[in-house]
Structure 1
């Protein structure tokens, strides 16, 4: 029974990874497509490739997800697998709801919310201090750094190129956006695919098929990387329209700065802080930051308010769905 349940959990984890790809594909390429630096198809192919590469570059974020959100090592194998399955269903459900409404919410916080909610519902240990330090604080700080950093860099760019001719300058920034979009896609793979790796490792540990100290198997890394790349290639046009056009009309210079600053924030959190931050929150706040350099009213704050509402709701909503799913599934599957 455990073997079958592990297969189901891994399938749901890769399904979550796929929805993460098409839900968050806009993060890496919306600005490049909206400024016409890249065609949609070229942008999707490039983003899928660099998501794949980024997913294979590290495991620090995956380890955080597997070891520092909830502890299911003392739970019976069967219960542990149901816990992970319920968390995934909660995260996937929230991803699909926000995708349908075109809201760029965080897949990162959806899976963390799912794990937290089912942890509470099942009575296993929830590491609240780690959640505060590595989830809640980065959730607050990263968008602020993205906004302030993008605003400051954009002001510097405007000053440096203040006497340059707009036409040739924008053409150069369109070319530069190819590199910044690739860097953003790499950061997305580095952050988001690792979360799925961590969840699969959690399932393998729960089922007694692997020790946490053994780390993440190569097949898990490759399958998670391929799933998020496939999802990215499938595209996320609803959210792309929100990020690329509804917050502010971007020009190539602002698109380049927003992507570059966001990529730096993602790399710092992945390689140095080992914190699973939201790619969505980072790029959205950076777009607002570069937009505010035009004038404060240039940013469509009504859209930003709706996005902010989705951010606040993500963890509790995914947690609630996961808890309800657990309460339904556990009596049936126990």
Structure 2
């Protein structure tokens, strides 16, 4: 029974990873496609490859998810907690994807695990959630916005006397590099979260005694998110690429570069599972504000912000409800 539950949780976790890929594909490629720096197909292939590579570069975020959010009970009870958390996250991913809202798959997963943990009376590490989730959730968009704004102002000053046509062509070429860097950061952050959940299930099922990430888990999670990314996320891509602000190649390059830098620093230094969606969206707003504040479509930004605020509690409520339903059959 427990082995079957472990296998089910692993399959559902990889399904979540896949939905994470197609839900968040826009994070890496929306700006490059909207500025015509890359064709949609080329951008998707690039993002999928770099997602796979990024997923194999570290385990700090995976360890935070696997052992830092909740202490799942051992046995079937713990596996049901993880399963309910995953299903709550997947449900929110599908809802926001259908609505075209770039919400955070990371926070959906954290919300799902927390909600199921509370419903099951498992130990929830609220201090870790505060330090590694809540504070970065607020700080990373602000940092992304401010740095993108400052860097964009500097770039505009440097190229102020350059020929517009040549400058645009150069930034289009540079966007290939920045899009790759953004996709690498997405794999580094988001695929690791699935790795952490799978290890949490392995520990709860008694198949592993520590939270070290096995190689097969890394490869499986990397493959799932890459396949999901290649499937694309066109609804969300339109929101990020055009509805927030009309981007040009220079602004697209700066937004992607700044967002990638924030992702790398939080993954390698803080081991914090921040949202790639929040980071790139805020960076896009930051570069857009250098035109004029009214250039950013703040009505769209408010809608996105509402989805951000709702993600953790919404996924948590769905997961808690699912746990209560599942517990009736335990």
Band the TM-score falls in, shorter-chain normalisation: over 0.9
List gaps (5 residues or longer) in structure 2: none
List gaps (5 residues or longer) in structure 1: none
Shift of 1:139: 0.2
TM-score by length of 2: 1.00
CA distance in 2: counterparts of 1:137 and 1:167, whole angstroms: 42
Q: Counterparts in 2 of 1:36-55, with a 5 A limit?
A: 36-55=36-55
Matched, 1:203 2:230: no
Q: Aligned-residue CA RMSD in angstroms?
A: 0.5
How many residues align structurally? 330
SS at match of 1:269: helix
Q: Match of 1:276?
A: 273
Q: Match of 2:115?
A: 117
Matched, 1:253 2:255: no
Q: Counterparts in 2 of 1:52-71, with a 5 A limit?
A: 52-71=52-71
Moved over 3 A (4+): none
Shift of 1:331: 1.4
Q: Match of 2:10?
A: 10
Match of 2:219 among 222, 227, 239: 222
CA distance in 2: counterparts of 1:84 and 1:217, whole angstroms: 18
Q: Match of 1:170?
A: 168
Matched, 1:140 2:138: yes
CA distance in 1: counterparts of 2:137 and 2:208, whole angstroms: 31
CA distance in 2: counterparts of 1:100 and 1:125, whole angstroms: 33
CA distance in 2: counterparts of 1:243 and 1:331, whole angstroms: 42
Give a deviation string over 1:98-154, Cα, whole Å, max 9, x none: 000000000000000001101100001000011000000000000000000000000
CA distance in 1: counterparts of 2:63 and 2:75, whole angstroms: 20
- Determine if contact 2:74/2:206 at 8 Å carries over to the other structure: no
CA distance in 1: counterparts of 2:92 and 2:313, whole angstroms: 10
TM-score by length of 1: 0.98
Q: Match of 1:262?
A: 259
Shift of 1:211: 1.3
CA distance in 2: counterparts of 1:33 and 1:247, whole angstroms: 14
Give a deviation string over 1:45-71, Cα, whole Å, max 9, x none: 000000000000000000000111001
Shift of 1:76: 3.6
